[in-house]
Every structure is written in structure tokens, then in C-alpha cells.
């Protein structure tokens, strides 16, 4: 009870009239400062003094955590002169980074071309097009690795035309999270965070956030969630042992890595929507499954699990087609 009371300040009611959304001269200045939401119902036997907070990254203007590294990589390109007038932004993506780059390109006046696996969700394709970007579709059976290879071929054929942020190898990717996501979590939990849990795709989120939190308190545990095998339905996540490993990903910096089954992650998405009022994507379901596994081993602690996006960009995928068949 004492621990619960000591943490009472974490929860606040609705925003007061004078504390509403800030105004900004550009949509890009709305990236970051996303909220934490305590998960109070989908806990499954977790001890009362273990608190679980979700970092809701769907509140970024592009709808996902990928707004953060996309902006940081573009800023670095502009700073170094690698991106300038006449250049086209090019990268490979499973969807969310592409949407972020398309949004940023539109805001700054740069054309954007994106290589995406042909089986990414219809909603992602539509959002990219709505921002005016051009999508080039790679072999769906090759997943994100196929998109990486196709993008490399395009760049090699016309290197002067393109600026490629290269999210898988660009240190500005984890730097974005070191500079923003980590400090936000530390501030929002008043330094009480004991565990940080995130899915791994490029690895930028968990690397950058983890480094910052470890610098503040080396005892903070950094936990990664990945698909349990190579053949999975967790769009946006990588099974590292069977994938092209991103240059920015360093597994030795993790305290724990957990394999999550696709069906388990999907079931968690359905529960989070119905029981917490939080509709998220399948990578978020996987991350929360991992968070609960960790939480059940604790008597007390503060876990922050990163929810990378909202679920509305997956409504046409097998995630929700499967749900429809069940009901």
C-alpha cells in the first residue's frame, strides 16, 4: 500500500482547460513528448506493487515511434549537406518509418520514394500515398530484408539522385531515442523505472532508450521482444537470428530477449483494446506479452513498455481478419 501511495502522482485525471495541446509552427515540432498510460486490467496475476506503464507512441503526428528517428536522420542529412535541393529521400521500410519519412518530406518539400514489402497493410500504403510519397513494392516473401536489398540496388543505380537515411545503420536512429524517448520516460516516472520493454525491428528504439536509462541507473533492465521464429506475422519486428542484423543493433547491450508467438501477440492486441481501451498494433501486443512475463517474476517495480503505434493501420491485415473469424 505504501508503494502504491508513493506512486500516486503518476496518475492524473483529464487535462485541465489551460493544459491543452500546444500550438506549433510545423507538424514536425509535435513529434515526441508522448504520454505514459498505466495498464491496470491486463495484468494477469502480477503483484500489486508492480506497476506497468505503456508509452503510447501512436500520439506522434505520423502515428508511430518512427517519427522520432526519421526526423533525427533527416536533420542530420540536412546538417551534413547529404540532403539538399534536388535530392529525393529514399529508404526501405516495413511501413512506419516510411510514413514518417513521407510526412517529413511533405513538410519540408522533398520528394520521397519508399521500398516496402508488397504485403504491408493496405492502410500503410494509403497513408504513404496520402503524403505524396512514391511506394516501390518488393517481394512479400522476402519481408523487410527483401526491401533492404531492393533499396540498395536502386541507390547503386543512381547514387546522385538519392539521400538514403538508412535507418538500419544510421546512428541518428538510436540517437533520437537517447535524446528524447529515454529522457521522457525517466522524467515521467520520476526516475522510478526499473524495466524498459520494447519490440525490435531496426533496434534503434531499444538501443537508444536503453543507453540513456542505463546511464541514469545501471540497474534498469532492458528487455527486447522479438518473434519466436523466422516465419511470423508480427509486422515491423525482426527475428534477429534469421535476418540481416542492423548495424545499429548490439544484442550485448540487452539484459533479456524474449521470443513471442504470433498468436500470443494477436490475442494480447484484442485484450488491450477490449480491456484497456488501447487499440494498438501487433508489435505492441508482443511487447506487452514480454512485459507481463517479466512482471510476473517481480514483487515490486515500475515497468515501461513501448507501444510503437495504434492499431488502425492494421485493420485489413490477418490480425483483424482472424479476430473476425472468432466472433
- CATH assignment at residue 220: 3.40.50.1100
pLDDT at position 215 is 98
Backbone angles phi, psi at 90, to 5 degrees: -130, 135
Same-domain pairing of 72 and 146: yes
pLDDT at position 323 is 60
Same-domain pairing of 133 and 205: no
283 catalytic residue (yes or no)? yes
Same-domain pairing of 128 and 257: no
pLDDT at position 20 is 54
pLDDT at position 322 is 62
Task: Using the 3D structure, point to which of 139, 163, 187 is the last residue of a domain.
Answer: 163
- Which residue segment(s) compose the domain that 140 sits in? 67-163
Domain count, the chain: 2
C-alpha 193/C-alpha 187 separation (Å) is 10
Same-domain pairing of 58 and 43: yes
Quickly list DSSP for 263-317: HHHHHHHHHHHHHHS--B-HHHHHHHHHHHHHHTT-SEEEEEEEE-BBGGGGTTS
* Helix (H), strand (E) at residue 197: strand 195-199
* Cell matching residue 293: 512475463
pTM: 0.89
The Cα angle at residue 209 between residues 276 and 133, in degrees rounded to 5: 80
**Active-site entry in 55, 66, 125, 164:** 66
Same-domain pairing of 158 and 72: yes
Residue 84 falls inside a structural domain = yes
**Active-site entry in 92, 138, 144, 283:** 283
**Burial level of 112, CB count in 10 A (0-12/13-18/19+)?**
buried
In order along its 327 residues, the chain shows pLDDT tens digits of 444 434 434 333 344 444 555 688 899 999 999 999 999 999 999 999 999 999 999 999 999 999 999 999 999 999 999 999 999 999 988 789 999 999 999 999 999 999 998 888 888 899 999 999 999 999 988 887 899 899 999 999 999 999 999 888 999 999 999 999 999 999 999 999 999 999 998 899 999 999 999 999 999 999 999 988 777 777 777 777 778 889 999 999 999 999 999 999 999 999 999 999 999 999 999 999 999 999 999 999 999 999 999 998 888 887 877 665 454
The Cα angle at residue 281 between residues 284 and 96, in degrees rounded to 5: 100
Residue 170 falls inside a structural domain = no
164 catalytic residue (yes or no)? no
Same-domain pairing of 81 and 229: no
Same-domain pairing of 284 and 240: yes
C-alpha 66/C-alpha 181 separation (Å) is 11
Same-domain pairing of 51 and 103: no
pLDDT at position 6 is 40
Same-domain pairing of 134 and 251: no
Backbone angles phi, psi at 197, to 5 degrees: -125, 130
Amino acid at each position: 500500500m505504501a508503494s502504491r501511495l508513493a506512486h500516486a502522482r503518476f496518475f492524473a485525471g483529464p487535462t485541465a482547460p489551460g493544459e491543452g495541446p500546444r500550438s506549433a509552427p510545423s507538424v514536425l515540432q509535435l513529434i515526441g513528448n508522448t504520454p505514459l498510460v498505466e495498464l491496470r486490467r491486463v495484468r494477469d496475476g502480477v503483484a500489486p506493487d508492480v506497476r506497468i506503464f505503456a508509452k503510447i507512441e501512436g500520439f506522434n503526428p505520423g502515428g508511430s515511434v518512427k517519427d522520432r528517428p526519421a526526423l533525427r536522420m533527416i536533420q542530420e542529412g540536412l546538417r551534413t549537406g547529404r540532403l539538399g535541393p534536388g535530392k529525393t529521400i529514399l529508404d526501405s521500410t516495413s511501413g512506419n518509418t516510411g510514413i514518417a519519412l513521407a510526412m517529413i518530406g511533405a513538410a519540408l518539400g522533398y520528394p520521397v520514394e519508399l521500398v516496402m514489402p508488397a504485403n504491408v497493410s493496405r492502410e500503410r500504403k494509403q497513408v504513404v500515398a496520402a503524403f505524396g510519397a512514391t511506394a516501390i513494392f518488393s517481394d512479400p516473401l522476402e519481408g523487410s530484408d527483401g526491401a533492404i536489398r531492393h533499396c540498395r540496388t536502386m541507390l547503386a543505380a543512381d547514387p546522385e539522385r538519392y539521400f538514403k537515411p538508412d535507418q538500419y545503420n544510421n546512428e541518428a536512429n538510436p540517437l533520437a531515442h537517447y535524446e528524447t524517448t529515454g529522457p521522457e520516460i525517466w522524467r515521467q516516472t520520476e526516475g522510478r523505472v526499473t524495466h524498459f520493454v520494447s519490440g525490435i525491428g531496426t533496434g534503434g528504439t531499444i538501443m537508444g532508450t536503453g543507453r540513456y536509462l542505463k546511464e541514469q541507473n545501471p540497474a534498469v533492465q532492458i528487455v527486447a521482444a522479438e518473434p519466436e521464429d523466422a516465419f511470423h506475422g508480427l509486422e515491423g519486428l525482426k527475428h534477429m537470428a534469421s535476418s540481416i542484423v542492423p548495424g545499429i543493433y548490439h544484442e550485448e547491450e540487452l539484459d533479456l530477449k524474449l521470443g513471442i508467438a504470433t498468436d500470443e501477440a494477436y490475442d494480447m492486441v484484442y485484450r488491450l483494446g477490449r480491456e484497456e481501451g488501447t487499440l494498438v498494433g501487433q508489435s505492441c501486443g508482443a511487447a506487452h506479452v514480454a512485459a507481463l512475463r517479466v512482471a510476473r517474476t517481480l514483487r515490486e517495480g515500475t515497468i515501461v513498455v513501448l507501444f510503437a503505434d495504434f492499431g488502425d493501420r492494421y485493420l485489413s491485415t490477418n490480425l483483424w481478419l482472424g479476430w473476425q473469424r472468432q466472433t
